[in-house]
Structures are given as structure tokens and as C-alpha cells.
Structure 1
Amino acid sequence: MYPHLTGLGINELEQIEHYSLRQEAQKDVLKIYFKKQKGELFAKSVKFKYPRKIKSVLIDDGSGQYRNKTEVNRNLTLVIDELNLLTKPIQSKDVDLKQKILSDLRHLEKVVASKIKEIEGDLEKLK
């Protein structure tokens, strides 16, 4: 019933808890997490990397210029469809998105403040 997941070597489909997806350079990284078993310190997970498909897209008919655009690998979309059926992901709400954006902003503020202190320290060494 789940040919793409079994094709990846995942046979214990009922043990899948959730998954994450991120992009690294020209690849999409899918990480599948399994339910933590009794006696295990950490839950088991597996990672798969899918190269992104690169297409040349015409920007403007008049100029004849093209731009490279990347797309998600078709096999990855099929695997994600199967994972969505198994995990039934919760649809995020606007409130969740707002909290994520605020959290990202606070993190960025800390990173910038830390970098400013580092640069100021380097400047002090030059005096």
C-alpha cells in the first residue's frame, strides 16, 4: 500500500511518528523519525537526500533570457504523500506561524548581538 516507503527499505510503517523536510544547497533532506522503543535513550531516525531538479525557465519572450529554477524531486513528493497518510500532520494555524516568526526573530536578535560583541572585541584588540 506504501510502495515508495517500502522501496526506501522502511517496512515498519506503523512505527513512523513524524518527519521533517529541509533544503541544503541543491538537495532536499527528508528525515523520518520512528517511535521511541522501550529501553532506547533516543528515538531512531533515517535520513534521505534527494537532488533537486534544475530547469531553465524563460524569463521574458522579448529578451530571450533564461533563469535556472529548481523543483522538488518527484520521488520525494510521492514519499511525502505516503508519509502524510501515515502521520496525519496537523495543519498549522496563523497563530503558530506568528509564534514561529517571533521565535525566529528573537533568535536572530541574539545572533546579531553576539556577533556585534565579537566584532567590538576584535576592534579593542586593534587599539
Structure 2
Amino acid sequence: MSEYPTLNKMGVTSVDNVDRYTLRHQGDIDVLKIYYKRPKGSFLSRTKKFSFVSGRKAIPLEARSSKAFDSIVDFSPQLASALKELKCLDAKRKESDPIDPKQKFISDLDHLEKVMTEKMDDIRRQINELK
């Protein structure tokens, strides 16, 4: 039996390679994105994205515009279970391999610089194609 049954049902079988995850809301959909550590040149995907319909549709329309609506969190049960397993996985990883905050910031900055450079190069290429 797996230690992470919800993640396994979702197709996340290489839990040891999970690097991090993000959760964002797009209208009535919650989007969970899982990032993997992959060796350079690997053909395996670096991310997996999962969408869950949130339960906010069941709330009366009048209540949706109130300030109290913003504090309502109604995740799908599968999403709540997946987040719990990801937090557990994250806690285990931090115990076995503590991350230096300075190194994490430097790594994040390097990644951001790479993404921005690639995006700027792409925009320049598109501009040059317009001539």
C-alpha cells in the first residue's frame, strides 16, 4: 500500500522527485501544479497540472459578492487530501535535506533570470519577424 494514495490515484507515482507545488484559483477552478526534479535532458515532464472544480458554485449569488465570501475555502475532497499528502512529503524532505534559505533565493533568482531571458529573446524574435 502506498504512503500517498491520493497522489498515486492522480498519477503522481514518482513522489521522490516532487520538488514543489503551487495552488491557484481560476474562477471556480482550483489548479494544483506539481513540479519535479528531473535530470538535464530527461524526456519526462517537469510539471503536472491538475484542475479541481471548487464548491463555490453552491453558494447563493447574493453571498458571493459579500466580503465573507472571500474567506470561504471549499476545496474538493481529493484536492484537500492531495495537499495534505504534499505537505507531509514536503515536511519529510525538509527533515532529511534542510534547505539553506540563501541558496533557495539564489536558485529562485537564477531560474527567474533564465525565464525572463528566454521570454525577452522570444519577443525580440517575434519583433524581427514582423519586418
User: Is the pair's TM-score, using the shorter chain for normalization, greater than 0.5?
Assistant: yes
Normalised TM-score (structure 1): 0.55
Superposition RMSD on alpha carbons, in Å?
A: 2.8
5+ long unaligned stretches in structure 2 = 95-131
Provide the identity percentage. 27
Structure 2 vs 1, CA of residues 6 and 42 (structure 1 numbering), >3 Å: closer, same or farther?
A: closer
Asked whether the 8 Å contact 1:15–1:34 carries over to 2, the reply is yes
5+ long unaligned stretches in structure 1 = 58-64, 91-127
Structure 1 CA distance for aligned equivalents of residues 43 and 27 of structure 2: 32
Give, as a single letter, the amino acid of the residue that structure 2 aligns with 1:5: L
SS of 1:87's equivalent in the other structure is helix
Higher helix proportion = 2
Output one character per residue of 1:74-113: Cα deviation in whole Å (capped at 9) or x when no partner.
21010000001112398xxxxxxxxxxxxxxxxxxxxxxx
Give, as a single letter, the amino acid of the residue that structure 2 aligns with 1:86: L
Number of equivalenced pairs: 83
**1:76 aligned to 2:79?**
yes
Normalised TM-score (structure 2): 0.54
Partner of 2:12: 10
Partner of 2:89: 86
Structure 1 CA distance for aligned equivalents of residues 75 and 59 of structure 2: 14
Deviation at residue 67 of structure 1 after TM alignment: 2.3
SS of 1:31's equivalent in the other structure is strand
Report which of the two structures shows the higher radius of gyration computed on alpha carbons. 1
Give, as a single letter, the amino acid of the residue that structure 2 aligns with 1:4: T
Higher strand proportion = 1
Structure 1 CA distance for aligned equivalents of residues 44 and 81 of structure 2: 28
